[in-house]
Structure 1
Amino acid sequence: MIQIMTTNPQMEIITHDPADGVYATTDDYVHAVEVRDAQRLLFVSGTMGLDPSGAAGATLGEQLDLVWANLRAILASAGMTVDNIVRLTSYLRDASYAEENAAARVKALGGRTIPTTAIVVQTLVSDWLVELEVVAAG
């Protein structure tokens, strides 16, 4: 399946999600997106669910709310929104966090699908339950 989306007049995002010759994706991600005529790329380092004082949210849900708020602030500083995100990597402290993380991503992106990967890692600080890294284009 190929779907063309436009996030600004100069840029096209074309979804490539073939049904033949490769395993099927689920409803919450796609195999690839092609970005045409982007004028800017923004690479966001791993962003955690920390409040402005640097304290981690007490639960996974709180950290997911914080991490998406933090990403929106970082994107806004570059004149972008979550609509500009074209790639996302999730680093999860525990595999059991995958479903809640995916639901938060789908909600934050308004149902828009992008290429995404989730990796289970030992975080540098045990209170950090999730870290998200994104690439945005505009």
Structure 2
Amino acid sequence: MNDSLTPKTIRPPFGRYSHGVQAPAGSRFIFTSGQLGIRSDDSVPEDIEEQAEICFENIRAILAEGGMDLSDIVRLNAFVTRREDMRRYMNVRDRYVVEPLPASTLYIVSGFTRPEFLVEIEAVAARVD
């Protein structure tokens, strides 16, 4: 089991994440590419929440393909194009992250390869088999 590292000597996290995560020795890792909010039929919702849900469902599918699940995520990096979408992204993230809470960073970026993309999420997962 991965362990959350949130020292009492530093400010608590701003949201539902850990300052650090320790994976046990001998862990197997899965690193996902950044997932965009595009469906398998190439449609892209206009809403950031729907795009974020697609990203997390894609991550869930990638992890399942490797024999892991969302509880194995140790690190999330998320990128949004509009500061006003931060809270809406985090509301979706909070529905998908489970204990132990992963380390997480959220970036505001100027854009992605196509203007309709509003969010991109990448994950690192670890598990001892």
CA contact (8 A) 1:47 1:70 kept: yes
Relative to structure 1, is the Cα distance of residues 47 and 38 closer, same or farther in structure 2, using a 3 angstrom cutoff? farther
2:51 matched residue in structure 1: 63
The TM-score, its normalising length taken from structure 1, stands at 0.83
Sequence identity, in percent? 26
**Structure 1 unmatched runs, 5+:** 1-5, 7-12
1:135 matched residue in structure 2: 124
Offset at residue 38 of structure 1 (A): 4.0
Equivalent position to 1:34, from 13, 18, 22: 22
**Structure 2 unmatched runs, 5+:** none
Distance 2:98 2:123 in 1: 16
- The answer to which structure, 1 or 2, has the higher relative contact order (CA under 8 A, 6+ apart) is 2
Structure with the largest fraction of strand: 1
Paired residues, what number? 126
Distance 2:68 2:37 in 1: 20
Moved over 3 A (4+): none
1:100 matched residue in structure 2: 88
Offset at residue 112 of structure 1 (A): 4.6
RMSD: 1.5
The TM-score, its normalising length taken from structure 2, stands at 0.89
Distance 1:94 1:68 in 2: 19
